[in-house]
Structures are given as C-alpha cells and as structure tokens.
Amino acid sequence: MELRQLRYFVTVVEEGGFTRAAARLHLAQPGLSAQIRQLEKELGQPLLDRSHRSVTPTEVGRSVLPYARAALAAVEAVRQTVDEHTGLLRGRVTLGLVSGATSRAFDIASFLADFHSAHPALEVALTEDTSERMQTALLSGEIDIALLGPTWETPPPGISYRTVIDTPLAAAVAPDDPLLASPNHPGDPLPAPPNHPGDPLPAPPNRTAVPLAGLRDRPLICLPRGTGVRAVLERACAQAGFRPRVAFEAASPHVLAQLAARGLGVAVLPLGEEEPDLGGPLRTLEITGPRMRARIVLAWPAADPPSPAARVLLDRLREALPKAATP
C-alpha cells in the first residue's frame, strides 16, 4: 500500500468520479484506475462502487476513508513541521476578497507580490465574491481568510474579525439633482432660483446631509444584494418603514458613481468612493436619520486558520492592513 494510492482513493471519493479526479491529480484516467484497482486487490475488498454515474465508496470504502485521510494528514503535518523549522512554508491558502474592498486603503496586488517573494513555495489563491457568500465559505472552510463587507448585525459564531475601513454612507447625485434644492431640515429656507433656465439648482450653504426618508421615492443606484452596503441600506429602510427603489445595481462603486453622474438616480456609496470627474461633478450628502456606515473587515475562523501557511498570511495581513478608528 502506498500513500499515493490513498491520496488517489480520497480524491476519487471527493470528486465523485475518475475523470474529475484524474484532472485534479494531473494524471491519465487509465493510470488512476489501475492504481485504485491495485489498492483494492491488496486489501481484498472493493473500495468504490462504479455501477452508477457517480462513483461512490462501498461500505468498506466508507470505513477506510477516515483512516486514509488521517494518514495523509499525518504526512502533511510531518512536512509542515520540518518546513517550520527550516523557515520554508508550503501549502495553499485561499483568500476571499469582496470587489473593491481595498481600492482606497490597501494595494492587494503589491501585498501579494511581496508575500510571494518572502514565501515562494506557498500558493495563495485569490477569489472574489459577495460578502454574504464569503461569510458562508469562511464558516464551511472553503476559504481561509476574507476581506469582506459584513452583512451581519451581530457577528455569527465561528468568525473573528478586525475592522479595516469604517466610513459613513453617502448619497451621490448629479449637480442638478432636485435633492440639492431641499433644505437640511423642515423650515430651512430654499435657495434662490437659478438666473437662467437650465442652470443647475444651487444647494443651500449648509446642505451637507439628507435624511434616509428623503430617498423613499427616489430611484437608487446601489451595490447588489449579498454585499455589506446593500444589507445596511435594506435594514435601515425596513426600520424606516419602506423598501428602497433600487433602479440600478453594480459590483463596482466606480460604476455606481458613473450612473449617478449621468442623472440616473441617487448612488448610495461609502463616503469617499465617489469620483468627481465621471461625466460631470458629483455632489455627496451624508445620509442621516439614521446614519449608516459601510465597513470592510478582515475575517478569519474564530479558532484561527488551521494551517501554518494560513496563519502566517493572516499575521502579515494584520500587520499590513490599517486598523479603522472607532467612530
């Protein structure tokens, strides 16, 4: 019995078939099948049921599977222990990243390049997804570490995190948007009308904010469902007694700002994400009543990542990422 045969057996079970397992192992399928048959011959029992479209372990195979995995894990632990003593890290770490998470505060490409130079034998897999799906993947162990916009009000059990970015949500509008002509508070004077028809409406000197209720009937431009910003907006609107009218959604704050600059609605963005030169200057008003905040957090399993490689990457991210001040 050879360790590689145990690895082949485990991989076939995980992939549910020889074709996908062979591709994952970078082997020819006939060679993989021959190795499994040799293992079964040595043990004297079939380990895999090949009678269905999907290959599944037999009763004996199910009994053998945890021991095969334990043997492979033990060998990997031996390698990791030696690597730790020699200062060489090996393995694979999966880092989840919400789109645009670090555009303003962190250069992820430069960080990963420096990390690779320091640990060339360690593979970092970078994946982008919505925050909601990454939270689920983090809890299930599909990813090791994530930079995400939390959709939770209370952190779910099993996740530890540190806030990296914490900024107010703002309404970004084109300079001629009627929202700018409204007073900050009931009773505040309206600005004088423009000198010529078609001129932009001037904003009151103290017009710096808009109540959430003022967006009730406006078409909104927002990040898609599953993102932290969208979750914060929908919770606040529900508490205010209405559903937001989301006319456009996109994964990039840059695109949201472009749409708002064209007068297609009110973009709900983290303050500072708006771009002033996207087809016309944008005006931004902080959303109040209630004030809402957009956050990006560095998240990891509460028990710490299981592999030494993931722990080293997490430590480097903690050092490199800014720590947001408490508002």
Residue 26, pLDDT score: 87
Does the 3-83 domain belong in CATH 1.10.10.10? yes
Name the residue type at position 82.
V
The better pLDDT of the pair 197, 269 is held by: 269
Q: What string of DSSP letters covers 62-115? A: HHHHHHHHHHHHHHHHHHHHHHHHHT---EEEEEEE-TTTTTTT--HHHHHHHH
The partner residues of 267 in beta bridges, in order of sequence, read 172, 221
Burial 246-255, CB ≥16 within 10 A → b, else e? beebbbebeb
Residue 102, pLDDT score: 52
Q: Which residue has the tokens 């293992």?
A: 39
- Confidence class of residue 260 from pLDDT cuts 50, 70 and 90? very high
Residue 83, pLDDT score: 66
Express each pLDDT in 89-130 by its tens digit. 677 889 998 875 555 557 888 888 998 888 888 889 988 888
Looking at the predicted structure, is the pLDDT value of residue 36 above 80? yes
Least confident of 14-23, 188-197, 227-236, 265-274: 188-197
Q: Could you tell me which residues come within 8 angstroms of residue 162 by beta carbon, excluding any fewer than 6 positions away?
A: 297, 298, 318, 321, 323
The better pLDDT of the pair 319, 188 is held by: 319
Looking at the predicted structure, is the pLDDT value of residue 231 above 60? yes
Whether residue 156 is preceded by a cis peptide bond, meaning omega within 30 degrees of 0, is no
Residue 195, pLDDT score: 57
Task: Give the integer Cα–Cα distance in Å for 119 and 311.
Answer: 13
Give me the phi and psi of 85, to 5 degrees please.
-70, -30
Express each pLDDT in 122-180 by its tens digit. 889 988 888 999 999 988 888 999 999 998 888 888 899 999 888 899 999 998 888 88
Domains in the chain: boundaries: 3-83, 91-164+296-320, 166-294
Tell me the torsion sign for CA atoms 189, 194, 198, 202.
negative
The stretch 291-314 carries a mean pLDDT of: 85
Q: Is 175 exposed, middle or buried (0-12, 13-18, 19+ CB in 10 A)?
A: middle
- The mean predicted confidence, pLDDT, of the chain is 83
Residue 82, pLDDT score: 72
Express each pLDDT in 65-90 by its tens digit. 999 999 988 887 787 777 665 555 67
Task: Give the integer Cα–Cα distance in Å for 173 and 192.
Answer: 20
Could you say which of 3.30.930.10, 3.30.870.10, 3.40.190.10, 3.40.50.300 is the CATH number of the domain covering 166-294? Answer: 3.40.190.10
Residue 8, pLDDT score: 92
Looking at the predicted structure, is the pLDDT value of residue 182 above 70? no
- Confidence class of residue 196 from pLDDT cuts 50, 70 and 90? low
Shared fold status for 91-164+296-320 and 166-294 = yes
CA-wise closest residue to 254 among 134, 172, 168: 172
Residue 273, pLDDT score: 56
The better pLDDT of the pair 253, 300 is held by: 300
Q: Which two tokens stand for residue 284?
A: 């931004």
CA-wise closest residue to 167 among 26, 21, 326, 278: 326
Looking at the predicted structure, is the pLDDT value of residue 205 above 50? no
Residue 86, pLDDT score: 56
Residue 327, pLDDT score: 53
The better pLDDT of the pair 145, 281 is held by: 145
Give CATH for domain 91-164+296-320: 3.40.190.10
Instruction: Read off the pTM.
Output: 0.64
